[in-house]
Structures are given as C-alpha cells and as structure tokens.
C-alpha cells in the first residue's frame, strides 16, 4: 500500500535533518535555502511493540514490520504559489502526497539562519498556509470557470453538483480556511472534492522542532503555536531533531534507550512521529503469525475482511471464504494459537466483518 506523508516547511527549519533520522537516508542537511530540490523518499518502518511480543510467543523464522513512505520536500518561500524560488515544483510534490507533516522552527540558534531573521513559528505557518491556499484558489477558480455556465443554464446535473462543491470550497479558501474544513452532505460531493487533490485538503500534523532543553516540556514558541492552532483539530508534536540525529547514530537499541532515559524521554521523537503519521493517514495494522513469519500488515481503518485479505494477495480477496480472527490481547493472554482455540477465543468472521486494529488473522479462500 503506497501511501506518502510529505515533510514541508520553510527553509532551515530542520526538515531534512528530521527526514534523515526517520529514514536513515542521507538527504543533504545544509544551512541554506533550496538545499533539497528533488524530493527524497524514505521507506519508514512503523514501530509496533505488539509485533515483537507476538514474535516472542511464536518464535518465527523472520519478523516483518509494516512501512509507510516519507517524502522530504524542499522549503517553501513567499510567492511559491506564483513560482517564486522553486515554488511550482515544490507544490506539485506536495500534491502527490496523501498527508502533510509541517515542520516549524521553535528554537534559537545564531548559527542557523532564518529567512525572515526572527524565529516565529506562527508567522512561518501562515506563510506556508497562504501559499497553499493561493495555489488551491487558482485551481478551484479554473474548475469553476469550466462548469459555471453549464450549471447556471440548467445543464447536466453533475455540473450543478460540482459547481456547488467548488463554490463552497472557494468561499472557505477566501476566508483563509483550508479545504479540509469544508463539510459535504453526500458521498458524491466528497468524491468531487477529493478528486481536486487540493493541497489544503490533506490532513496535517504539526511538528515543533525544538532544542535539547525543550525536548520534554516544549518552550514559549511551542506554547504560542499550540494556542494559534487549537481550533484546527490537528495534532502537534514536539521533537528535537538535533537530538534525534544523535540517537540515530547509535549502533544498538540498548544504547538508544540509555540515551533517551538520560534525557528523561520514554520514547524517541522519531517513533512518536512515525506513529502519528500512520494515524494521520487513517491506517491500522493487522497481524499474521506462524512459524515462518510474524508479520504486520497495513489497512485503512474501516476496511472489511476481504479487503484486508487482498492486502496479502489479490487471490485472497477474490476467493475469500472466511477469516479466523484472534484478538491481540487474547493471543498474549493465552500465549499460543492452540490455547486460544481451546478457550473458545478464536472467532470465525465473514465478508461483512470490519477488521480491528491489532487483529491476528488467518484467511480461508478458494480460487
């Protein structure tokens, strides 16, 4: 399942440093704008403690985690929507992603220049938001021009519906509100809106990049930013990218955990960020467990059993008969599949079963 989160923000806020920590790729991290021109793509392992606990019980030959893709997109600048800097190229890269991780500078460092001279994450967010809004407004006005005449002259019904969707979105954008805040009444309207692939329609996660002293509690910059976005219903994470880069260089899991404990952190910011990105994409995990492998599989929240079977192989979905389901907590409690069956805790589910996060599944199929 190829889904991507794009990392965006102004130049020199720590995007590429954070990307390097996430993917162990070596995107150039330098102190000047437009350091990243082509988007770097990293395939990120999603940390999941449940996978390891299942493996401890099953003792498989291999353990396979699930992954998502993270894209490091070059820094936006004022005027990007009109092509300033490398604007049009950057905006097209954002359009290709499924969700946005917006990194904001919340640290002082005289050795790292800021394009506007003064650190102000709220202003920085507004600069990026404005460029995305302007580009979306350009898109929506173009669409309106194409269907307005048909809609007003009693033409096709589809044109009328599309016109109303476009009008609603345009009004929202003109108020300075992103397209994702617009609510629609029908599935048809939602599909029309989705097919626009608007930049501001994408779900967003804000990452406040702080220095080491603020890694646990945040700082005044973070507090001000959280207050500014409290009505957006968006998650805000505090991450110290410089510390995360030091953690990423440590060789062993034990060394990394020791380093975190010395800083007073229970979990690395990178792990928290990956998990948050996974949620942002509305993704969940089911497991398969056997002597050959214990594996995590990604599915969209709300999917039914046949769709999840298709994640493993299309034949599983085409010839789906039933799913044998063990709840993760039951598997851990009874310590083996055999014990679960004997306790009557394995459930046989049909085509309408909505798979839940953490389900341990075995699919029966015939093709």
Distance set, CA 286 to CA 289, 298, 356 (Å): 10, 7, 7
Residue that finishes a domain, picked among 146, 176, 200: 200
DSSP letters for 212-279: GGGTTT--HHHHHHHHHTTTTT--EEEE-HHHHHHHHT-SSHHHHHHHHHHHT-SS-HHHHHHHHHHH
The answer to the question of residue 65 being in a domain is: yes
> pLDDT tens digit string along 43-78?
888 889 999 999 999 999 999 998 888 888 876 666
Claim to verify: residue 192 and residue 209 sit in the same structural domain: no
Claim to verify: residue 92 and residue 226 sit in the same structural domain: yes
Claim to verify: residue 215 and residue 100 sit in the same structural domain: yes
Q: Domain limits at 358? A: 302-365
Claim to verify: residue 194 and residue 333 sit in the same structural domain: no
The distance in angstroms from the start CA to the end CA of the chain is 23
CATH of the domain at 137: 1.10.150.300
Claim to verify: residue 184 and residue 268 sit in the same structural domain: no
The answer to the question of residue 123 being in a domain is: no
Confidence of residue 337 (pLDDT cuts 50, 70, 90): very high
What are phi and psi for residue 309, nearest 5 degrees? -60, -35
> pLDDT tens digit string along 94-142?
888 999 999 999 998 887 766 667 899 999 999 999 989 998 999 999 9
Predicted confidence at residue 21, as pLDDT, reads 84
CATH of the domain at 66: 3.40.50.300
CA dihedral for 191, 193, 199, 204, sign (positive or negative): negative
CATH of the domain at 348: 3.10.20.30
296 vs 111: which has the higher pLDDT: 296
The answer to the question of residue 236 being in a domain is: yes
Sequence-ordered list of residues with C-beta below 8 angstroms from that of 50, at least 6 positions apart, any chain: 285, 287, 296, 328, 358
Predicted confidence at residue 104, as pLDDT, reads 96
Claim to verify: residue 87 and residue 153 sit in the same structural domain: no
Sequence-ordered list of residues with C-beta below 8 angstroms from that of 230, at least 6 positions apart, any chain: none
The answer to the question of residue 341 being in a domain is: yes
Tokens of 17: 């440093």
The answer to the question of residue 247 being in a domain is: yes
Distance set, CA 116 to CA 33, 78, 113, 127, 280 (Å): 12, 11, 9, 11, 30
The answer to the question of residue 48 being in a domain is: yes
- Total Cβ atoms within 10 A of residue 70: 24
The answer to the question of residue 291 being in a domain is: no
Residue whose tokens read 């820094």: 75
Claim to verify: residue 224 and residue 354 sit in the same structural domain: no
Residue that finishes a domain, picked among 228, 250, 280: 280
Residue that finishes a domain, picked among 200, 225, 244: 200
DSSP letters for 115-183: TTSS--HHHHHHHHHHHHHHHHHHHHHHHHHHHHHHHHTT--HHHHHHHHHHHHHHHHHHTT--GGG--
Claim to verify: residue 245 and residue 136 sit in the same structural domain: no
Predicted confidence at residue 12, as pLDDT, reads 84
Q: How far apart are CA 367 and CA 359, in angstroms?
A: 24
Among 89-98, 136-145, 219-228, 313-322, whose mean pLDDT is lowest?
Answer: 89-98
Predicted confidence at residue 88, as pLDDT, reads 55
Claim to verify: residue 66 and residue 184 sit in the same structural domain: no
> pLDDT tens digit string along 168-192?
999 999 999 999 989 999 999 999 9
Claim to verify: residue 159 and residue 232 sit in the same structural domain: no
Report the pLDDT averaged over residues 272-298. 94
| Domain total of the chain | 3
Claim to verify: residue 60 and residue 182 sit in the same structural domain: no
Report the pLDDT averaged over residues 277-289. 94
The answer to the question of residue 120 being in a domain is: no
SS3 5: strand
Claim to verify: residue 139 and residue 264 sit in the same structural domain: no
Nearest to 54 by CA among 327, 279, 354: 327
């Amino acid at each position: 399942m190829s889904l991507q989160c794009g990392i965006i923000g102004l130049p020199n806020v720590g995007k590429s440093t954070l990307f390097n920590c996430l993917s162990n790729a070596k995107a150039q991290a330098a102190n000047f704008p437009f350091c990243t021109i082509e988007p770097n793509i990293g395939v990120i392992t999603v940390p999941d403690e449940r996978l390891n606990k299942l493996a401890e019980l099953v003792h498989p030959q291999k353990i396979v985690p699930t992954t998502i893709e993270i894209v490091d997109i070059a820094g936006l600048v004022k005027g990007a929507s009109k092509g300033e800097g490398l604007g049009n190229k950057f905006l097209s890269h954002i359009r290709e992603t499924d969700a946005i991780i917006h990194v904001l500078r919340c640290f002082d460092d005289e050795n790292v220049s800021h394009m506007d001279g003064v650190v102000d994450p709220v202003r920085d967010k507004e600069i990026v938001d404005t460029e995305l809004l302007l580009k979306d407004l350009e898109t929506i006005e173009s669409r309106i021009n194409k269907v307005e005449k048909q809609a007003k002259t009693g033409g096709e019904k589809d044109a009328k519906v599309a016109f109303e969707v476009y009008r609603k979105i345009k009004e929202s954008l003109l108020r300075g509100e992103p397209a994702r805040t617009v609510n629609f009444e029908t599935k048809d309207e939602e599909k029309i809106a989705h097919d626009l692939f608007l930049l501001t329609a994408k779900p967003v996660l804000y990452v406040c990049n702080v220095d080491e002293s603020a890694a646990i509690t945040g700082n005044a910059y973070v507090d001000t930013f959280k207050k500014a976005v409290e009505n957006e219903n968006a998650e805000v994470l505090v991450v110290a990218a410089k510390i995360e880069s030091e953690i990423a260089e440590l060789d062993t899991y034990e060394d990394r955990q020791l380093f975190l404990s010395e800083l007073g952190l229970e979990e690395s910011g990178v792990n928290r960020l990956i998990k948050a990105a996974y949620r942002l994409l509305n993704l969940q995990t089911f497991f398969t467990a056997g002597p050959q492998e214990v594996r995590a599989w990604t599915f969209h929240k709300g999917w039914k059993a046949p769709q999840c079977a298709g994640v493993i192989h299309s034949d599983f979905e085409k010839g789906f008969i039933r799913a044998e389901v063990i709840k993760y907590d039951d598997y851990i409690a009874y310590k083996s599949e055999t014990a679960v069956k004997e306790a009557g805790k394995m459930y046989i589910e049909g085509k309408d079963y909505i798979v839940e996060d953490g389900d341990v599944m075995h699919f029966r199929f015939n093709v």
